[in-house]
A = this chain, B = another copy of it.
């Protein structure tokens, strides 16, 4: 997991909004897009960034693509953020 990509993905408010919506369960690309004042291609770009960071997964069902939170990544992210701020990390700079 690339911590860099995770932070970049989270640094955009639209993407945090997408994540928040997905916290309530999977949604189609169209449903998510309807919640933001932005074109669908722009939303599609944000989906791609979130997928690249491994924060969401997608599956196609017919014409629609459903997005979900990749919950298995969250614990890892939190641990590494915690480590980042802690002073007792035995690994030194290895996970910068």
A19, B78: Cβ atoms under 8 Å?
A: no
Q: Which of B4, B20, B84, B86 contacts A93 (CB 8 A)?
A: B20
From residue A65, how far is it (CB to closest CB) to chain B in Å? 21
Given A17-B93, A78-B78, A96-B17, decide whether A86 and B23 contact each other with a Cβ distance below 8 A.
yes
Alpha-carbon distance between A3 and B19 when the two chains are bound, in angstroms: 14
B7, A10: Cβ atoms under 8 Å?
A: yes
| Chain B residues, CB < 8 A from A4 | 11-13
Binding site for B on A (CB under 8 A): 3-4, 7-8, 10-13, 16-17, 19-20, 23-25, 69, 71, 74, 77-78, 81-82, 84-87, 89, 93, 96
